[in-house]
Structure 1
Amino acid sequence: MALSDLQSISGGEELAEAKWHSYFEQYLPAIEEDDFFGLQNYTREVYGPEGKVKPAEGAELTQMGYEYYPEALGQVIRRVAKYLQIPIIITEHGVATENDERRIEFIRKGLEGVQACLKEGIDVRGYLHWSTFDNFEWQSGYSMTFGLIGVDRATQERKVKDSASYLGRIAQAGSLITN
């Protein structure tokens, strides 16, 4: 399931809870007998008394128009874990950006959230970054760059980004690397 970290400001609590029900809770009966829960996360959504609140003026946005908020991953894992007694696998987590340094930071902060959840005893079994390659996004074509590997569409040449090397070093080390 693709789940944002649903947050609220004063007066938006009920709207945020209603959204959480529509995004997640209504599906709990269908999830009951599953072996694991696949979680996709890219950002957060904030609700106020009038509905969804736009990101603050000057907030960093991704190419998808989402608020750049890698901390959302840990928060969503915690919230899902309150309802489920099955393992969680992060099936998609990433950011559409041309700035690979921001992608590295997104991965680092997102995995810090995963690591904290593991320390809290939440059963998280895996993490898959979206995406290995700069890929075709259904409504955006090739304009969004989520990939750890860039693709020159004219030549099909692949270029491994620093973010791929960073994630690879984490995988090799078996723990989070801060530099």
Structure 2
Amino acid sequence: MVLGIYPAPFFWGVATAGHQSEGDNRDSDTWFLENVTPTVFAEPSGPACMGYERWSEDLDLVAGMGLNAYRFSVEWARIEPANGEFNEEALAHYEAVVNGCIERGLAPLVTFSHFTQPHWFAKRGAWLDAEAPALFARFCGVVMDRFGDRIAAAVTFNEPNLPQMLAWAGLPAFVADLTRATLDAASAAAGVEKYRSGNVMVAEDFDAMQIGMTNAHLAAKAAIKQRRPELPVGLSIAISDDCAAEGGESTRDAKRADVYDHWLRLARTDDFIGVQNYERLWFGPDGQLPPAAGSIINEMGSAVDAASLGGAARYAHAVSGVPVLVTEHGASTPDDAVRAAFIEPSLAGLLEAISDGVPVLGYCHWTLMDNFEWVFGYGHQLGLHSVDRTTFERTAKPSAGVYAGIVAAQRAAVAA
């Protein structure tokens, strides 16, 4: 396959998240939830990838791949470990990361909430708290005042629709039961009525959480735009490429309405919509269909399908009407040959969408290195680099070279 030339300028990046790579995020809600009994998490995050200490080395890996963008999150729990108390060391750390990106020719794409929040915020009920939007906007303002003049784009929320998406995934009943038991245990341990989190959620909270995060996105965007009106601001949603076999249109459309469309309509007044795509799913008259015979299956149980990215981008733009920024895309598999073979045809499908009129600002592969994959712990692999769990040494996989080669060819073609 010969990949056509992408339009310029274009963000060629890789994505990470603070809690998943930094380690020892002890003032966060997720850390607290990992360490109660019972817990829905397979294991605690612990030191993760020691990314908080090894950030400069990790930026060297990104730059060494020839990329021009790096998406990462600032951890609210580190910056504001107690309500209204802002940690100078943490602010200086993330400022150093931003400056390090710029020194290496990497555009800093900053996520303000990548699932985790402060422990004190969760004790208040998280996004159920009436003051949550104002508290989040205050945090975003502090970050912007410190280094917002140097970032290239702001993502307020990462996958605020993930609970709804998982509700459509056909998970066994014990998962919901264990989720509820985790929150009950956390509430008891914290001495509050409702300990709540953005990524460990029970179904009866979905609607109220969505309202809270919607208002928080709007408040955060206002705070960011007040400081830099020209800075592109958006949010990122999890979005499968949902397709209908004969008779499956109504089920597919019901899922779209339940999982994506609120956020895509909200994004109509944003500068972009972040698309996070990992799968294509097919629906028939009786619901979701199993993967086709002979499919390569990822660790989530769905087929690895390179056509999914272009389809997800098309739908996101069709509903939102704003440019797409692919903030995550990858394959959860221990077989890196699958990942390496998956990248170029995925990008070819995305380029077809661009050729058909879908504006796309950039592509960030998930993820730089194998890391803490939330409830799955360290059992799932999505990284372009492996991480030794004892020494924390990073080692490039063949897929890192494949992606780097594609980007090098693209940048050379644009320069020619």
| TM-score, normalised with respect to structure 1 | 0.91
> Match of 1:67?
303
Match of 1:86 in 2: 322
- 1:93-116 Cα offsets, whole Å, 9 max, x none, are 000112222101111111011111
* 2:142 corresponding residue in structure 1: none
CA–CA distance in structure 2, aligned partners of residues 166 and 33 of structure 1: 36
Alignment of 1:107-118 (within 5 A): 107-118=343-354
Amino acid at match of 1:49: P
Q: Distance in 1 between the 2:305 and 2:264 partners? A: 26
The equivalent of 2:404 in structure 1 is 168
SS of residue paired to 2:269: coil
The RMSD of aligned alpha carbons is: 1.8
Query: Displacement of 1:74 after TM fit?
Result: 0.6
List alignment gaps of at least 5 residues for structure 2: 1-236, 412-416
Which range is displaced more, 27-36 or 126-135? 27-36
Query: C-alpha displacement at 1:83, in angstroms?
Result: 2.1
Contact map agreement 1:133 1:151 (CA 8 A) in 2: yes
CA distance in 2, matches of 1:92, 1:53: 25
State whether structure 2 residue 338 is matched by structure 1 residue 95. Answer: no
Identity among equivalent pairs (%) = 38
Shift of 1:92: 0.5
Note if 1:45 corresponds to 2:281. yes
What is the CA-CA distance between 1:66 and the residue it aligns to? Answer: 2.1
After superposition, where does 1:12-161 map in structure 2 within 5 Å? 12-161=248-397
Q: Decide whether aligned partners of structure 1 residues 91 and 43 sit closer, same or farther in structure 2, where only a CA change above 3 A counts.
A: same
Between stretches 140-149 and 97-106, larger displacement belongs to: 97-106
Task: After TM superposition, give the deviation of residue 26 of structure 1 in Å.
Answer: 2.6
- Helix, strand or coil: the match of 1:129? strand
Structure 1 segments, 4+ long, off by >6 Å, are none
Superimposed CA distance per residue, residues 57-111 of structure 1 (whole angstroms, 9 cap, x where no aligned partner): 4422112222111211011111222223321100000001122221011111110
Q: C-alpha separation between the residues in 2 aligned to 1:115 and 1:168?
A: 17
What amino acid maps onto 2:242 in structure 1?
L
Counterpart residue identity of residue 144, structure 1: H
**Distance in structure 2 (CA, Å) of the matches to 1:28 and 1:161:** 35
Q: Which has the higher helix share?
A: 2
TM normalised by structure 2 equals 0.41
Q: Which whole-Å CA distance do the structure 2 matches of 1:118 and 1:9 have between them?
A: 25
In 2, Cα distance between the equivalents of 1:10 and 1:121?
27
Query: In 2, Cα distance between the equivalents of 1:31 and 1:81?
Result: 10
Instruction: Report the Cα distance in structure 2 between the residues aligned to 1:73 and 1:129, rounded to whole angstroms.
Output: 11
Contact 1:43 1:66 (C-alpha < 8 Å) held by counterparts: yes
Q: Which has the larger radius of gyration?
A: 2
One-letter amino acid matched to 1:155: T
Say if 1:42 and 1:70, in contact at 8 Å, map to a contact too.
no
- 8 Å CA contact retained: 2:264, 2:316: no
SS class of match (1:98): coil
Whole-angstrom CA distance in 2 between matches of 1:58 and 1:167:
26
TM-aligned CA deviation for residue 25 of structure 1 = 1.7
Give unpaired runs (5+ residues) of structure 1: none
Aligned equivalents of 1:31, 1:121: Cα separation in 2: 18
What secondary structure does 2:386 align onto?
A: strand
AA paired with 2:244? Answer: S
